Structure 1
């Protein structure tokens, strides 16, 4: 039986590999960046992340929810309202994103 790359990382004790597995999906870091500013609705995230498809956004949010990084709150209103926010685990990733921002400013951007 052959182990897939996913299973190798899942079974790995390497915290860097496991974190990279969670954050490695396209758009994932940008979703967390946007949620770091506070609670957002799906359409707010979609507008902010120009170019993301609704399907991809939905998949990434669901994945982050399964990882315990995002909470999805549904309100029984007409029309239904759904909001997303970071959990404590998700908020702890903000420092990683802040480090990426600082690195990008210093080494990659002309600003």
Structure 2
């Protein structure tokens, strides 16, 4: 039987549209353990440029996965955390990390 897949109704496609790409899953993983400032996130993801990190955080915020809290202080302080929807990704992210530790050569990087 020849069956075509309608990707518009595919839940995996919909999920990957939100978290796909090189950096979003890693950003979510970094935020899964704690609220973090921009510099902390950047330090934990050495390969990402500040421009790309800013863009990815804005997209994750627009998609309702990340919360951006700006404090009116001098100097200004901004913190990022997972929203309630974003927190529902935590078990999946932890499973990915566990799988990676078991099945891939480990590269020592702070995350």
- TM above 0.5, yes or no, is yes
Report whether the alignment pairs 1:70 with 2:62.
no
Which of 91, 96, 104 is 2:92 aligned to?
96
Long gaps (5+) in structure 2: 1-5, 107-111
TM (normalized to structure 1)?
0.84
Q: Which residue of 1 aligns with 2:28?
A: 32
TM-score, normalised on structure 2? Answer: 0.84
Tell me the SS of whatever aligns to 1:109. Answer: coil
Structure 1: 5+ residue stretches without partners: 1-7
Runs of 4+ in 1 over 6 A off after TM superposition: none
Partner residue of 2:82?
Answer: 86
- Following TM superposition, by how much is the alpha carbon of 1:102 offset from its aligned partner in structure 2, in angstroms? 2.0
- Count residues in correspondence: 101
* Match status 1:52 vs 2:51: no
Name the Cα RMSD after superposition: 1.5
How far did residue 37 of structure 1 move? Answer: 1.1
Cα distance in structure 2, aligned partners of 1:34 and 1:108:
19
Tell me by how many angstroms 1:21 deviates.
1.4
Aligned to 1:83, what secondary structure does the other structure show? strand
